[in-house]
Chains A and B, each alone.
Chain A
Amino acid sequence: MVSRPMSPLSPFAAGVETANIILTTRDARIATTPKDVVWTHRKTTLYRYRSSNRRHGVPILLVFALINRPAIFDLRPGHSFVEFLVGEGFDVYLLDWGVPGPEDADTGLDYYVCDALPWAMREVLRSSGGGSLSLAGWCIGGTLCAMHAGLVGRRSLARNLLLLTTPIDPTGSLYHTWVGRDSFDVDYICAHWDVIPGLGIDIANKLMKPVTNLWSTYRRLGQNVYDGQADRVAFTSMAKWIADNPPFPARAFREWVTWIYKENQLARGMLRLRGQRVDLRRIEQSMLVVTADRDHIVPPENSMPLLELAGTGDRTHLARPGGHIGLMAGSRAPQQIWPDVSDWLTRRSD
């Protein structure tokens, strides 16, 4: 602990500095690793990160959720999963779903799984010159990747599947309690809203741990400032990312809630996209499933069924301490999980 001279004004000064950190959150620099646009379609953009250090033949395509923005993969300089992968010699691509508007109300899960994702994979291979790639999905992004592999099977361009805190069977989760119940009328909501406001989803996420999210975070920041231990850059970059909530297209939201939370169709093998059955037993890619022990959004037991359901013989499970986001973007992630992920990918990328 850092000792510093104290005065009666110290608590006041710490309060002012804490307020300054919170008020300047919007100025934080996030997602700064240099990248180029490779392909765009509708609101979707495919980026490739610049590198002069590519050592592995199989490129990686990062796919994030439909909630929040993919900047979490590249949070801040010196603490970026993208920067780490580029440094390890991987050819890294990022799929950004963009910010949907009311005009995207009829965008369904089939667009993401059947169009945008395979088309982006095709563009990755055109750009990298390789024959196959590694798909790395986080949260809903992981579910979309699993759906793709379960739909296309061995015809997929993906060779490896990396799934981070991915919901497959949400039974027992808090979200299941909230939106899986009969009284949650998702059809009514989506009949009137073209997009589900990002603010609403953010409030719901924060209400899952109300004291921690709405009070303790700021109290701890103030305490760290008072103790002279506050990490301004770490706090503001994460706070900026958390506050950036794009809307969720109504049709995709209705399908997500109905198919996954109310009817559990994916885990039960009953999900169909454009008439084709999504069968997780068709997953033949090497598969790494990563779970976080304190994940309250996607508890480990929501991801684990995939280890049983997938047809691949090469499946690995990494269970690590952490929360839904902290697992991959927290202060301990560079030591606790990134090297293991890199090792797993390296063994399957040449």
Chain B
Amino acid sequence: MGEQPFGPWAPDMAGWWRGWLESFESEATTGLERVVAGDGFAELLVHLTENAVALTTINTDVWDTVLRNLRVAGRADIDRLARQLTTTEDKLERLLQTLESPVEEEPVRW
């Protein structure tokens, strides 16, 4: 560190602040990590997650209904179309691999 920012007469405020912060952080780290590892926090997370799921589901359903009533494709309609395209892409990929595989090579079947 260089000279004292507030002059030589001032106490080393930066040093004191840094020491206090590090000590506080050390205590807080230990304490909070113990908290998050507990069953109580895990249960809290479960409820928070389920609330988030419920809220977003309501939001999505409302907007999809609005869009459908406006005769506009909603996210669900676009997803359905995307899945059909994916299925076609899968079939093409498998077809390509079959065509490219040497005849004597036994393909791995799932």
Q: Are A177 and B42 in contact (CB under 8 A)?
A: yes
* Cβ of A118 to closest chain B Cβ, rounded Å: 7
Chain B residues in 8 Å Cβ range of A5: 2-3
Which one of B1, B43, B50, B86 contacts A188 once the chains associate, using CB atoms below 8 Å? B50
Main secondary structure of the interface of B (DSSP, over half): helix
Q: Are A183 and B46 in contact (CB under 8 A)?
A: yes
Given A102-B75, A122-B97, is A210 in contact with B32 using a C-beta cutoff of 8 Å? yes
Nearest chain A residue, comparing its CB with the CB of B56: A193
Given A177-B42, A188-B53, is A103 in contact with B29 using a C-beta cutoff of 8 Å? no
Chain A residues in 8 Å Cβ range of B3: 5-6
Chain A residues in 8 Å Cβ range of B52: 200
Chain B interface: which of A212-220, A232-240, A321-329? A212-220
Tell me the bound Cα distance from A174 to B79 in angstroms. 34
Mark interface residues in B77-95 (1 if CB within 8 Å of A CB, else 0): 0110011001001100100
Q: Are A7 and B29 in contact (CB under 8 A)?
A: no
Any B CB within 8 A of the CB of A192: yes
Q: Are A181 and B53 in contact (CB under 8 A)?
A: no
Q: Are B29 and A185 in contact (CB under 8 A)?
A: no
Which one of A4, A7, A118, A181 contacts B46 once the chains associate, using CB atoms below 8 Å? A181
Q: Are B33 and A209 in contact (CB under 8 A)?
A: yes
Nearest chain A residue, comparing its CB with the CB of B54: A192
Q: Are A106 and B83 in contact (CB under 8 A)?
A: yes
Any B CB within 8 A of the CB of A347: no
Mark interface residues in A93-104 (1 if CB within 8 Å of B CB, else 0): 000000001111
Which one of A1, A110, A181, A211 contacts B42 once the chains associate, using CB atoms below 8 Å? A181
Given A174-B36, A211-B29, is A192 in contact with B57 using a C-beta cutoff of 8 Å? yes
Q: Are A192 and B29 in contact (CB under 8 A)?
A: no
Q: How many interface residues does chain A have, given as a range?
A: 35 or more
Chain B residues in 8 Å Cβ range of A105: 79
Q: Are A274 and B110 in contact (CB under 8 A)?
A: yes
Chain B residues in 8 Å Cβ range of A212: 29
Any B CB within 8 A of the CB of A152: yes
Any A CB within 8 A of the CB of B104: no
Which one of B5, B37, B78 contacts A10 once the chains associate, using CB atoms below 8 Å? B5
Chain A residues in 8 Å Cβ range of B28: 211, 215
Q: Are A11 and B50 in contact (CB under 8 A)?
A: no
Tell me the bound Cα distance from A276 to B109 in angstroms. 10
Any B CB within 8 A of the CB of A279: no
Tell me the bound Cα distance from A215 to B28 in angstroms. 10
* Cβ of B63 to closest chain A Cβ, rounded Å: 13
Which one of B43, B86, B110 contacts A183 once the chains associate, using CB atoms below 8 Å? B43
Any B CB within 8 A of the CB of A28: no
Q: Are A174 and B56 in contact (CB under 8 A)?
A: no
Tell me the bound Cα distance from A177 to B110 in angstroms. 34
Chain B residues in 8 Å Cβ range of A101: 79, 82
Q: Are B79 and A11 in contact (CB under 8 A)?
A: no
Any A CB within 8 A of the CB of B14: yes
Q: Are A41 and B46 in contact (CB under 8 A)?
A: no
Any A CB within 8 A of the CB of B45: yes
Q: Are B36 and A200 in contact (CB under 8 A)?
A: no
Tell me the bound Cα distance from A7 to B74 in angstroms. 59
Which one of B21, B25, B39, B89 contacts A42 once the chains associate, using CB atoms below 8 Å? B89
Any A CB within 8 A of the CB of B70: no
Tell me the bound Cα distance from A103 to B74 in angstroms. 12
Chain A residues in 8 Å Cβ range of B42: 177-178, 181, 183-184
Chain B residues in 8 Å Cβ range of A341: none
Any B CB within 8 A of the CB of A194: yes
Given A5-B2, A114-B110, A210-B32, is A103 in contact with B97 using a C-beta cutoff of 8 Å? no
Tell me the bound Cα distance from A11 to B4 in angstroms. 11
Q: Please list 7 pairs of residues, one from A and one from B, whose beta carbons are closer than 8 Å in the complex, sorted by A's number.
A: A6-B1, A7-B5, A42-B90, A114-B110, A210-B33, A215-B25, A226-B14
- 8 residue pairs, one from A and one from B, having the closest CB atoms: A103-B82, A103-B79, A211-B29, A6-B2, A274-B110, A192-B57, A6-B5, A211-B28
Show the binding face of A for B, using Cβ within 8 Å: 1, 3-8, 10-11, 41-42, 101-106, 110, 114-115, 118-119, 122, 152, 155, 174, 177-178, 181, 183-185, 188-189, 192-194, 200, 204, 207-212, 215-216, 219, 223, 226-227, 273-276
